[in-house]
Amino acid sequence: MTPEDLVQIEAVKRLKYAYLRCIDQKDFDALTDLFTEDATAAYSGGKYVYEGRRAIIEFIATNMGREAFHSSHRVHHPEIELDGDTATGRWALEDTVLDTDWNFLLMGAAFYEDRYRLVDGAWRIEHTGYRRSFEFMLPTSALEGFSVTASWWATDGQSTLPVQ
């Protein structure tokens, strides 16, 4: 590995960070540009499979588009391997979903295995997929005293909690 490789690896990491930011901020137009046109996805151990970026974005927008669907997808432990104009990436995911319409909390962990391709000088996602370590959910209505104190959409990103 050379310092120049690190520059490419940094660019691949940024691509992944932008992907996750666009999902959690529901910026599906910007999200589209991060994929190659022929991109494929195999989420949740291959249970949710999509071909073509149009199908991937439609899946994401349909299932994560509501403003009551608050998500935090965070990736860790990047193991990026460069191979010319392509690259592979292994990542550890943790995700939390707080749904304030359906009143549930979901938490999970997974490992991503991605492929990336350099297109006109910019790295794009060619394939993304993860396999779950675990996932659990619970209804928040059963949690006595549970309260939502901030929302990007419902409270303009501010907490309702007082500070001193």
Nearest approach in angstroms of CB 128 to a second copy is 15
137 makes contact with a second copy (CB under 8 A): yes
Separation of alpha carbons 87 and 116, rounded Å: 5
Window 73-112: residues binding a second copy (CB under 8 A): 74-79, 90, 92, 94, 96, 98, 105-111
Burial bucket for residue 8 (CB in 10 Å: 0-12, 13-18, 19+)? middle
List CB contacts of 37: < 8 A, sequence separation 6 or more. Answer: 52, 53
Choices 29-37, 119-127, 144-152 (CB under 8 A): range interacting with a second copy: 144-152
Query: Segment contacting a second copy (CB under 8 A): 7-15, 32-40, 119-127?
Result: 7-15
Strands 122-139, 69-83: pairing is unpaired
